[in-house]
A and B are shown apart, each in its own frame.
Chain A
Amino acid sequence: MDLWVWLVLVAVIVLLAVGLFAWFRSRQRSGSVRETGKRGDKT
């Protein structure tokens, strides 16, 4: 294959890896406000 095809392929793979990392890190770091106890409990 031509060199430019390889370059595009590598660029796409790098972009995918960066996007996946950003998505995973964003999910991992996102916070929540949690209440203990199960649904159905009377409080």
Chain B
Amino acid sequence: MTTSSVRLLRAGEIIGLPVVTIDGGEDVGEVKDVVYDGTSHRLIGFTLNKRGWFRGTLTDVLNVAQIAAIGGDAVMVNSDADLAAPVAAAEASALEGEGHDVIGTDVITTDGTILGVVSGVILSAGERPAAVGYELTDDAGASVFVPISAQLALSGDNLVVPSEMTPFVRHDLAGFGASVSEFRAILGQGTDVDTEGRTV
């Protein structure tokens, strides 16, 4: 368990945030898609819209390596040249449409209990941004947070999670970071999530 100060935030809250340059203070775009790796769960980057509703999408993508900070109100980059920075082929294909939308997927435990439907993804916004959990909506319409582990299996229609994870399910985002850390400690996986689960 670590005590680093990594914040947790909902990936959906990043969509629509302006991308602002530190050197000039310009709005160079706004976040359209949030893309992360389904295996390592690390954030790959963002696709972008031009600023202003009447304008279209940007062909440039924002790789995670070029992101200076992800704040509550803006995504910061050092300069607008960061948008045109070269991207590795695998990451470029992922950013340009590969992958699937996780929202709406049913989540079921290995002992056959349906936990809910994925309504969001929780990211840690530290030096190595990564997906650390899913936000689900259960039958009663309440939000439930479950940690992501390396043992998750994506089937045709459902996200199957180990039944050992059930004690680490939380009903609010505050404290979810601690839940992720404890769960990963049991699995013997590293984590950079703080124990307070601070949010933006």
- Residues of A at the B interface (CB closer than 8 Å) are 25, 28-43
* Known A25-B53, A36-B94, A37-B99; contact A31-B15, beta-carbon cutoff 8 A: yes
* Interface pair B99/A40, CB less than 8 Å apart: no
Residues from 78 to 115 in B contacting A, C-beta threshold 8 Å: 94, 98-103
* Interface pair A29/B33, CB less than 8 Å apart: no
Residues from 21 to 51 in B contacting A, C-beta threshold 8 Å: 31-39, 41, 44, 47, 49
In the bound complex, what is the Cα–Cα distance between A38 and B94 (angstroms)? 12
Q: How large is the interface on B (under 10, 10 to 19, 20 to 34, 35 or more residues)?
A: 35 or more
**Extra 13 A-B pairs, beta carbons < 8 Å, given A31-B15, A34-B94, A35-B99:** A28-B57, A29-B57, A31-B16, A31-B31, A33-B33, A33-B34, A36-B36, A36-B38, A36-B98, A40-B155, A42-B154, A43-B41, A43-B151
* Interface pair B155/A31, CB less than 8 Å apart: no
- Residues of B at the A interface (CB closer than 8 Å) are 11-12, 15-16, 31-39, 41, 44, 47, 49, 53-54, 56-57, 94, 98-103, 120-121, 131, 150-156
* Interface pair B154/A34, CB less than 8 Å apart: no
Q: What residues on B are CB-neighbors of A40 within 8 Å? A: 154-156
* Interface pair A34/B101, CB less than 8 Å apart: yes
* Interface pair A39/B155, CB less than 8 Å apart: yes
